[in-house]
Amino acid sequence: MSQLRKIGRCIYCLTSEPPLKREHVIPHGLIPAGHPDSWVLHAASCPKCEKITSAFEGHILGAVWPTARSGLGLRTRRENILTHPLLVEVNGTFIEVVVPAKAYPAVIMFPEFRPPAHQDGRQYESGIEVIAQTNVQVAGPPIAEVAKRYGAQRVRFVATFRGHSFIRLIAKVAYGMMVADFGLDNWEEVYVLPSIMGKSDDSGRWVGCDGKRKLSSLPLPLHGIGREVVNGEVITRVCLFAQFGAPEYVVVVGRLKPNAQPGQFPMPRNR
């Protein structure tokens, strides 16, 4: 069931000057085709801020996750991709072969990070440190089967993340859900907003991983979001492609005003 909320101000710069467009909490391109919009904030993004968020969101969806989106039949505003290139090792040399989309072993490479510095209290200056990588196959036949078909010893997957696009996407999802949950007027400070908008390089202070799977016990159809309030601070867990065992990301979104309460919508456990 769709959950819709009209905001009436840009959730990023707070302008109320029209035109204001709707903002998908879960990006449009990560929703299965044919499914209704869920958790959409109406009149919630001005053209200037939309241009900023669309740039990093579009990079991840279009350049990093195209095979996963194609394999899972997720929404697209472009024509469906029919083939994908794949690197396979034959006789010690990697060559590129063209594989039909339905026969492609779609793998997502998730970078993992240290916990948010704000949580573990470590000395922090800037940026974010990648400490591990989790590869999750979300669609297509087994990799070994594909390698055998092409007479390959190995199959190689390559993903190039531009800047902090992935981190900003995770923070944007967390912030958007918390706006749906608490509105715009219940915040003393939104910690992640400068990083989302590319105005600061402090994403590692607010975003990271703790290695836990708190959402994994829930019946998650594709993506999962959860949150808790600790000493007035909202801590959100985001897990995209949760049903495939993807890592969970912890986002310290911000600090609420005293006595702030969730808004008119209850916090759903999955979407």
What is the reported pTM? Answer: 0.93
Burial class for 39, CB neighbours closer than 10 Å (0-12, 13-18, 19+)? buried
Distance CA 73, CA 60 (A): 16
pLDDT of residue 266: 43
Per-residue pLDDT tens digits for 103-158: 999 999 999 999 999 999 999 999 999 999 999 999 999 999 999 999 999 999 98
Q: Give me the sign of the Cα torsion angle 167, 213, 247, 177.
A: negative
pLDDT of residue 213: 87
Q: Which tokens go with 8? A: 């009436």
For residues 209-219, give the mean pLDDT: 79
Per-residue pLDDT tens digits for 69-98: 999 999 887 767 789 999 999 999 999 999
Instruction: Show the CA angle centred on residue 137, arms to residues 206 and 170, nearest 5°.
Output: 20
Q: Which tokens go with 189? A: 């400070």
pLDDT of residue 63: 93
Q: Could you give the C-alpha distances from 216 to 68, 71, 182, in angstroms and in order? A: 20, 22, 25
Average pLDDT taken over every residue of the chain: 91
